Amino acid sequence: MLPSQPRLPMTQDPLRTDSASGVRGRWTRVGVVLMVGSLPLWVVLLGVPFLPLTVAARGGVATGIVVLAEVAFWGGAFVAGPEAARRMRSWWRRSRSTTGGDSEPKSWIRDPGSRIRTSD
Q: Cα dist. 47→71, 75, 89 in Å?
A: 20, 25, 25
pLDDT tens figures, 26-47:
888 888 899 899 999 999 999 9
Q: What pLDDT, on the 0 to 100 scale, is given for residue 63?
A: 97
Enumerate residues 6+ apart whose C-beta is below 8 A from 66.
45
Nearest to 50 by CA among 60, 58, 42, 40: 58
pLDDT tens, N- to C-terminus, the chain (120 residues): 555 665 655 555 444 444 555 666 788 888 889 989 999 999 999 999 999 999 999 999 999 999 999 999 999 988 888 877 777 677 777 655 555 555 666 666 666 665 665 565
